[in-house]
Structure 1
Amino acid sequence: MGLTGGIGSGKSAVSSRLAEHGAIVIDADKLAREVVAPGTPGLAAVAEAFGPGILRPDGSLDREQLGKIVFADPVARRRLEGITHPLIRDETARQFSAPPAGAVVVHDIPLLVEAGMAKGYDAVVVVEAPRALRLERLAARGLPRDQAEARMANQASDEDRRAVADVLLDNSGSLAELHAQVDALWRDLVARGDAAG
């Protein structure tokens, strides 16, 4: 299944809960970090495209500095995506080929809608929360409001995500309430798998 939601929606909490139930989670954000880790061809290509100012003194990627550039400039963002997306796609394909038959595989991918990938999944799960609450959560994580708003502006709208959702999870309440929704989703997935088997 594809799992998506806007920044600050609680998508990571959902994928963690699904993993607790036994799902195999392929995390696009994690892969995005791995393909630009120190010593990788991805990081070398990004540094060549954006200059040494996007590297920390230890040679790792300064994600905050790069974010300031790409979230303010659509051309720069497309240049970055041109470098990283093929690398992420290749690693995703490799990971999708590894799980055993019958496994529940969750592709945790923030830009599922933006990339037009909804049709590639058996089901699309969208995590949703009100914008004000998402901004609050991001501020609590230390992301300045202007940067949070810039990232939101570069993502699909709630309406666009709802349009492709097979399952909509409401994360405007407590973590326990979210977990209850995920648990119900898991029971439904298991029941479908048992019926198919």
Structure 2
Amino acid sequence: MLQIGVTGGIGSGKSVVCRVFETLGVPVYYADERAKWLTEHDPILKADVRRVLGNQAYDPLGRYNRAWVASQVFADPNLLTQLNAVIHPRVWADTAAWVNQHADKPYVVKEAALMGAANPGHGIDAVIVVTAPVDLRIERIRQRDPHRSETEIRNIIDRQVSDDDRLKIADYVLVNDEHTLLLPQVVALHEQFLSR
């Protein structure tokens, strides 16, 4: 079974691309959403997060204190490394279990904001990078998150992997600039993956 990674910067449209794949009957694993779910519900991960960050990582009801955690790890790169060291293995295990559930499919898609180069160790056979001009990405984010300022959005974009670095790992590039039709690009890849 092929495992296809989909990545792109905030506002690029990678979620739209993944929804198209889902409409075509392809299972999609949303790594970032699953990581959020696991930090709330996986007892092993919750214990590990508390060990790294302390009890303030969760509120009295046991909900992940996302804003507080973000303020801690963005101020301390070493702490972020430690947090990722406990979260990533749990997400990888969850991904592997999910892939096994879909072993009867010709291919699956894994969506993630961060994605390493395709290699057997990552379980990714090919990487699709979704691109869009930065100004369009900012406009999209402001439409869906009107409380965010342009400065805040640009800061998020600047903290993410650069488009140039993403393109270095791309096996396929989908252009989502609102001039080039996106749907035919996705369908063409779908047909290509089915024929492999």
TM range (shorter): 0.7 to 0.9
Aligned pairs for 1:114-125 (under 5 A) are 116-120=116-120, 121-125=124-128
One-letter amino acid of the counterpart of residue 119, structure 1: N
Counterpart of 2:183? 179
Could you tell me the TM-score, scaled by structure 2's length? 0.81
Counterpart of 2:140? 137
Q: In the aligned structure 1, how far is the partner of 2:140 from the partner of 2:59?
A: 26
* Partner deviation per Cα, 1:103-147 (whole Å, 9 max, x = no partner): 2211112211xxx34223332110011222223323332445555
Residues 40, 62 of structure 2: 8 Å contact kept: no
**Alpha-carbon distance, 1:36 to partner:** 0.5
**Alpha-carbon distance, 1:7 to partner:** 1.9
The share of aligned pairs that are identical, in percent, is 33
One-letter amino acid of the counterpart of residue 93, structure 1: A
Residues 32, 84 of structure 1: 8 Å contact kept: yes
Q: In the aligned structure 2, how far is the partner of 1:17 from the partner of 1:11?
A: 10
| Cα distance change on mapping 1:136 and 1:54 into 2, 3 Å | farther
Residues 68, 147 of structure 1: 8 Å contact kept: no
Structure 1, unpaired ranges of 5+: none
**Alpha-carbon distance, 1:162 to partner:** 1.1
Aligned pairs for 1:44-63 (under 5 A) are 44-56=47-59, 58-63=61-66
Residues 117, 127 of structure 2: 8 Å contact kept: no
Counterpart of 2:74? 71
Counterpart of 1:157? 162
SS in 2 for 1:35: helix
Which stretch of structure 1 is more off in the superposition, 145-154 or 180-189?
145-154
| Cα distance change on mapping 1:110 and 1:39 into 2, 3 Å | closer
SS in 1 for 2:174: strand
SS in 2 for 1:165: coil
Counterpart of 1:35? 38
One-letter amino acid of the counterpart of residue 65, structure 1: W
Which stretch of structure 1 is more off in the superposition, 161-170 or 60-69?
60-69
One-letter amino acid of the counterpart of residue 155, structure 1: Q
Could you tell me the TM-score, scaled by structure 1's length? 0.81
| Cα distance change on mapping 1:54 and 1:138 into 2, 3 Å | farther
Residues 2, 109 of structure 1: 8 Å contact kept: yes
Which stretch of structure 1 is more off in the superposition, 147-156 or 180-189?
147-156
Residues 7, 113 of structure 2: 8 Å contact kept: yes
Structure 2, unpaired ranges of 5+: none
Q: In the aligned structure 2, how far is the partner of 1:34 from the partner of 1:117?
A: 25
